[in-house]
Amino acid sequence: MAKENMSAWSPKKYDVFISFRGEDVRHNFVSYLRSALRGANIKAYADDANLQKGDEVWPSLSQAIHDSHLAIVVFSKKYADSKWCLIELVEILHCRKTEGLVVIPAFYQVDPSHIRNYIKDNDHVIQEWKAALSIGDKFIQEWKAALTEAANICGWDSRTRYHKDESQVIDKIVEDVSQKLSLRFPVELKAQDLVEIEKYCEQLKLLMSKNQNRQLQENVQVIGIWGMGGIGKTTIAKALFSQLFPQYDAVCFLANVREESKKLGLISLCDKLLSELLKDEHCKYNIAAAGSTFIMRRLSNKKVLIVLDDVDSSDQLDVLCREQCNYVGPDSKVIITTRNRHLLTGRVDKIYEVKIWNFAKSLELFCLHAFKERHPKKGYEDLSERAVKYAGGVPLALKVLGSNLHCRSTEFWDCELSKLINCPNERIQNVLEVSYDGLDNLQKKIFLDIAFFFKGEDKDDVIRILDACGFYATSGVKVLEDKALITISYAGTIQMHDLIQEMGLNIVRGGSEDPGKRSRLRDIEEVSDVLENKKARKNTLTFLPNQTRHA
């Protein structure tokens, strides 16, 4: 399985294989399509242009299909009249199933239902084939299944009123091809970034293959990917999506749901989801009568794959997930990434937690970004270990630090790593602070108190102390745990990742350069100086920890 998945990220001879009936479209639609693909720097195979003199036709065509990442099937009125087109289509769909070949149908002056029902509606043609070519029922059933499967894949229809001429639909097809190739080979999944990713994908696919107690509807399986900021949830979701999406009739990776819903609004984001699934940019979500709309009925027979990335509210799930899941076809899947485990409870079949990386894999990822190889360069071993320990198994931190230190001297490394103690990396901190920003005021106070004073302390003791301050800590601590800001150990103590703790300390320190004006103090020298000089403002909380704990 792993070998097959890794091959999906390997280069092939062609980006696109074009399947078509020559007499219908060779000198018009396909000619323009091939030119547009070439203009977009997409390498396409079409039999009339790529077959060499003396080549055996079918072996060459079959090899070209296997040597392509994506296939465009141009269905025209006479496409299914050709035995060779049908044989080609069967091979394309076989590669879709076994090799992850991406298939995009283009319906040229023909209704998809005509293609879907061709065998049933043209019995006289089938009987002529069977008599003249000695074709058995097995082949007929294969062709029928292939036509039905291909026509059910969401594609492009040249007859739609929104396409004024062929050039517009061709532009849309080329845009779709570019997007699909990008989804198949995300920039995050360069060979150097595949450390651990394949393992996560295999674990998730195993989780998805098990029988689930479906939460939303029996047609749909919903999986949540949960973990702290920077831990790699989006990268894992992109890797999984790139492997799975060729098997689905309609797909959409909706990135940055949290930010996009703020900018566009949820209804506009839902329009974007539907138009991507149905390849119709004029789809509009009817919130008043979603169940009766024509748009929803169009999804009813589609096997759909949706990824909702970085979800942070139940409203987002209700509009983007629950409504769509009521109408999609059997074996559809929805994958949700979030920092908030509570959002997933009762809404998904399974939750997959992304945990911090061990030291060995962390060192490998760091070195790939710092040295472009898997091991530290001579003379950088101790410095690399310092950097990896600072990152604490968080992939984002490992990548950022490695990239910042790439091609730098040992003196530069030592200076930068020492600086991190008092000046955390801004890019890493900004990612982590998103979870903090989503807390209410009391929850923020609880988080900062834990970051300053209670890391490693007994949970029940901490809740008692904070409740005495009027913080409603029982629910507050649970929210912090659900948002991956803290963990509770088997021994019942509150634990916090060093980078998250550092983020909390930095939030308070950033409030004022004068320690006497900060809300919390934990450094012994700062506490002593403030108390001795009576510089603390009235509401400053001072706390004198053991010397072994001060920052």
pLDDT digits over 447-484, tens only? Answer: 999 999 999 999 999 999 999 989 999 999 999 999 99
pLDDT of residue 204: 94
pLDDT of residue 3: 41
Q: DSSP characters for 264-283?
A: H-HHHHHHHHHHHHHT-TT-
Same-domain check for residues 297 and 321? yes
Same-domain check for residues 35 and 140? yes
More confident site: 41 or 190: 41
Q: Is 8 within a domain?
A: no
Same-domain check for residues 240 and 198? yes
Same-domain check for residues 337 and 199? yes
Q: Is 508 within a domain?
A: yes
Residue appearing with tokens 């399986």: 221
Q: Give the closest residue to 200 by CA, choosing from 230, 228, 241, 229.
A: 241
Same-domain check for residues 41 and 148? yes
Helices 395-405 and 426-437 cross at an angle (nearest 10°) of 160
Q: Is 548 within a domain?
A: no
What domain range is 119 assigned to?
A: 14-180
Q: How many domains does the chain have?
A: 4
Same-domain check for residues 74 and 107? yes
Cα–Cα dist 327/286, whole Å: 14
Residue appearing with tokens 């199933």: 97
Which of 151-165, 322-336, 376-390 is the most confident on average?
376-390
How far is residue 193 from each of residues 69, 123, 308, 385, measured CA to CA in Å?
21, 53, 22, 19
Residues 347, 321: contact at Cβ < 8 Å? yes
Same-domain check for residues 338 and 231? yes
pLDDT of residue 295: 67
- Summarised one tens digit per residue, pLDDT across range 81-105 is 888 899 999 999 999 999 989 999 9
- Summarised one tens digit per residue, pLDDT across range 391-444 is 999 999 999 999 999 999 999 999 999 999 888 898 999 999 999 999 999 999
Q: Is 4 within a domain?
A: no
Q: Give the closest residue to 254 by CA, choosing from 347, 345, 336, 338.
A: 336
User: pLDDT at residue 151 above 60?
Assistant: yes
Q: Is 401 within a domain?
A: yes
Same-domain check for residues 376 and 340? no
Q: DSSP characters for 236-274?
A: HHHHHHHHHGGGSSEEEEE--HHHHHHHH-HHHHHHHHH
pLDDT of residue 56: 61
Q: How confident is the model at residue 291 (pLDDT cuts 50, 70, 90)?
A: very low
Report the CATH number at residue 347: 3.40.50.300
Q: Is 9 within a domain?
A: no
Number of helices (H) and strands (E) in the chain: give both, helices first.
Answer: 29, 14
Q: Is 6 within a domain?
A: no
Report the CATH number at residue 55: 3.40.50.10140
For 197, how many CA atoms within 13 A lie in the half-sphere containing its CB? 26
Cα torsion through 526, 528, 531, 533, rounded to 10: -80
User: pLDDT at residue 539 above 60?
Assistant: no
Cα torsion through 97, 99, 100, 102, rounded to 10: -90
DSSP state of 499: H
Same-domain check for residues 395 and 465? no
- Summarised one tens digit per residue, pLDDT across range 256-285 is 999 999 998 988 898 889 888 888 776 666
Residue appearing with tokens 């001795």: 532
Same-domain check for residues 119 and 136? yes
Same-domain check for residues 20 and 157? yes
More confident site: 264 or 71: 71
User: pLDDT at residue 290 above 60?
Assistant: no
What's the burial of 232, exposed, middle or buried (CB within 10 Å: 0-12/13-18/19+)? buried
Q: Is 243 within a domain?
A: yes
Question: Is 88 an active-site residue?
Answer: yes
pLDDT of residue 193: 60
Q: How confident is the model at residue 58 (pLDDT cuts 50, 70, 90)?
A: confident
Cα–Cα dist 549/551, whole Å: 7
Same-domain check for residues 260 and 326? yes
Question: Rounded mean pLDDT of the chain?
Answer: 84
Q: Residue 304 forms beta bridges with which residues? A: 250
Helices 233-244 and 197-209 cross at an angle (nearest 10°) of 60
Catalytic residue among 88, 323, 364, 526: 88
Q: Residue 311 forms beta bridges with which residues? A: 338
